A and B are shown apart, each in its own frame.
Chain A
Amino acid sequence: MKTMDEKSKSAANEGVFNISSERKKGLKPNLKRINTKKLAELSVFTSVAMILSYVEALIPSVGIPGAKLGLANIAVIFILYRFGWREAAAVSLVRVLLVSLLFGSIPAMIYSIAGATLSLIVMVLLKRTDTFSSVGVSVAGGVSHNAGQIAVAAFMLGTKEIAYYMPVLIISGIIAGIIVGLCGAVLVKYVKY
C-alpha cells in the first residue's frame, strides 16, 4: 500500500498525468476504470431522459404555468434504483446540460440545474433512509425540484412575491411525483436485460 502511494506520488511529481507511462510501470491508472457496458447503458438512459424532456415540451401546460410532469425524472428514478446515486447524478446533469443547450436558453438552464440538483439530493437522501417507496422518493423529488426553481427565480428576479406561487407548485409536484414514481417502480420491477 505504501509503495503504491510512493509510486503515485512520483508519478504526480512528473507533472503530467500519463496513463500510458503508468501502464508501463505496471500500475493501474489513477482513474477509476469505466465499465463499458455500464457506460453504454447509462448513455441509452441519458438519451431516453432527453427524449422524455422533449416529449414533455410538446405537451401543452395544463393551465398552471411552470407545472410540469418531469417525465425525465422517470429515467433518473430508474437509474437511482437500478445503479446508484452517482450514476443518477451523472445522467441527470448530462441530461439537463444537453437539453438546455439543444432546446433551451441559459436562464432556463440555471433553473433546470437548480431544480435537478436539489431534487436529486433530496431523492438520494430519502432513498438512503429506506423509509419510502419510489413513489415517496419521487414525490419529494418533484416538490423539491419546484422549490429549487422558485428559490433561484426569487434570487434572480429579486422578488419574494414569486414564493406565493409555491403552494400551487407543491401540489403539482406531488401529482407529478406520484405519476413518475409509479412509472419508475414499474420499470424497476419489469425491465430486465
Chain B
Amino acid sequence: MADTIKIQTKTKKQKVIADVALIILLIAAAVGAYFFWLFSRDVGAYAVVYINGEEVARYPLAADTEVTFNTPDGSSFNTLVIRDGKADVTDAGCPDRICVNMRSISFEGETITCLPNRLVVKIEGGESPGVDLP
C-alpha cells in the first residue's frame, strides 16, 4: 500500500522543495509589487481632511501649517501638522492614538486614519482639484 502511494505521488522532500519555491516566488512578487508602488507613486499637492466621510478642509503641502480638528461632538481632537511638504497627525484625543503613531504622508493616495474620531487625512494630487472620485 505504502509503495503504491510512493509511486503515484511525489516524495515528501520534493513537495517541501516545491513549497519553499512557491513561498520564495510569492515573497519576490510582494517585494516586486512594493518597489513598483514605491517608484510609480506621485508626490501629492494637497492634504485633504475628511470627517465622517465629508471633506472639511484642504491644505497645500507647500505651506507649513498646524491645525486642530475637534470631533463634531467636541469630545476629542486631532492635530494636523504640515511641515517640509509632509502631513502628519502629531496629537489626538482618541484612546488608541494609532493616527499619531502613523508615519507622515506626502504621496498621492496615502492616508492617515483615525477610526475613533472618524477622521481621515488623505493626500490628493494638484492637477485637477475637485475632479477626483470621492
Contact = CB atoms under 8 A, between A and B. Distances in A.
A35 interface: no
Contact of A166 (B10, B19, B23, B33): B33
A174 B27 contact: yes
B22 A139 contact: yes
B10 A130 contact: yes
A136 B26 contact: no
A167 B26 contact: no
A136 B19 contact: yes
Interface of A: 130-133, 135-136, 139-140, 143, 158-159, 161, 164, 166-168, 170-171, 173-174, 178
Interface string B21-41: 011001101110110010001
B16 interface: yes
- Determine chain A's interface SS by DSSP, over half rule: helix
Contacts of A136: 15, 18-19, 22-23
B9 interface: yes
B29 A159 contact: no
Contact of B30 (A130, A140, A171): A171
Most buried by B among A164, A171, A173: A164
13 contacts: A131-B15, A132-B15, A133-B12, A133-B15, A133-B18, A135-B19, A143-B26, A164-B37, A164-B41, A167-B31, A167-B33, A167-B37, A170-B30
B109 A164 contact: yes
